[in-house]
Amino acid sequence: MGNNEYNLLPEKTGLPNRFGQSNVIDWDIHDAPDTSATVVARLQGLAIAAGKSIESWYSSFNVVFTDQRFVIFGATGDYGGHTVVASLTIVTNVKTYGPYGKQSAGHTAFHIAAPNNHIIVGLYGRAGDVVDQIGAYMCPN
C-alpha cells in the first residue's frame, strides 16, 4: 500500500503498534500510465494489517466505473490448488479493457451482465496474492 493523500493512516504516537494498521483507499484508475490519461474508475476500499508481515494484510475494495454500461467476461482456473480469477475483460459502451490474465484450456468461462432495466455501478472482489472472487453491484437504470 502506497501512502498518498487518499490513504488515512493511524497517527504515529511512539507507542508500539500492537493492533496492526488500517488504510482507507480511494484511488483513481486511469486508462494509461501517463499524465494525459483519463480516469475510468475509482478503487475504493479498506486494507487492514493484523501483524507486521506482508502476509497479514487483508484488502476489501470496490471498483466504481465512470462508464454506465458494461459487461465483464472472464474465466476461473486452478492456481496452487485454489480456484482463482484467471482472466478478465471489461467491455464498456466506450472501450474494451483487457484481457487481463490468460484464458487456457480447462478454465471455466463466466460473464457478469446487468439484467434488463439495470446497470452495473461497481465491482467488488477479494484478493490476497491472487484475485479469487469478483462480483458486481447493480441498480435500476
At 53 the pLDDT is 65
The answer to whether residue 35 scores a pLDDT higher than 50 is: yes
At 75 the pLDDT is 92
Same domain, 58 and 77: no
The DSSP 8-state label assigned to residue 54 in this structure reads: G
* Most confident option among 13-27, 51-65, 109-123: 109-123
Q: What is the pTM of this model?
A: 0.52
Q: Could you report the per-residue pLDDT of 94-103, keeping only the tens digit for each?
A: 788 888 888 7
Last residue of a domain, one of 48, 66, 84: 66
Same domain, 50 and 84: no
Q: Residue 36 is part of which domain span?
A: 1-66
Same domain, 40 and 21: yes
| Total of domains in the chain | 2
Same domain, 33 and 11: yes
Q: What region does 94 belong to: left with phi over 0, alpha with psi -120 to 50, or beta?
A: alpha
Same domain, 93 and 116: yes
Residue type, 140: P
Quick one: pLDDT band at residue 40, thresholds 50, 70, 90? confident
Contact 72, 134 (CB under 8 A): yes
Hey, CA dihedral for 65, 66, 71, 75, is it positive or negative? Answer: negative
